[in-house]
Amino acid sequence: MGFLEVLTIIFVVLQLTGVIAWSWWLVFLPLIIAVGIYVVWLLIILIAAKISQKELDKHFKIK
C-alpha cells in the first residue's frame, strides 16, 4: 500500500469522524491520483511490450 492510499484512508477516517468537512471528491483525490499513475504506468508497459514484440518479430521474421 502506497503513500497515496494511506493518505486516502486517513482522509476518509477524518471525514467520517467530522474532523474535516471537505467534499468527498477531495477526500478521494489521493486515490484518484494513484489510479491515474497506475493507468499511465500500465499504458507505458503495454506500449513498450508492443514495440518489443514488433522488434522481435522483425528480427526473427515471424509473421
What is the pLDDT, as a whole number, of residue 63? 58
Radius of gyration of the chain (CA): 20
User: 3-state class of 60 per DSSP?
Assistant: helix
Separate counts of helices (H) and strands (E) for the chain: 3, 0
Domain range summary for the chain, segments of one domain joined by +: 3-60
Confidence of residue 9 (pLDDT cuts 50, 70, 90): very high
Confidence of residue 1 (pLDDT cuts 50, 70, 90): confident
Confidence of residue 62 (pLDDT cuts 50, 70, 90): low
Tens of pLDDT, residues 13-38: 999 999 999 999 999 999 999 999 99
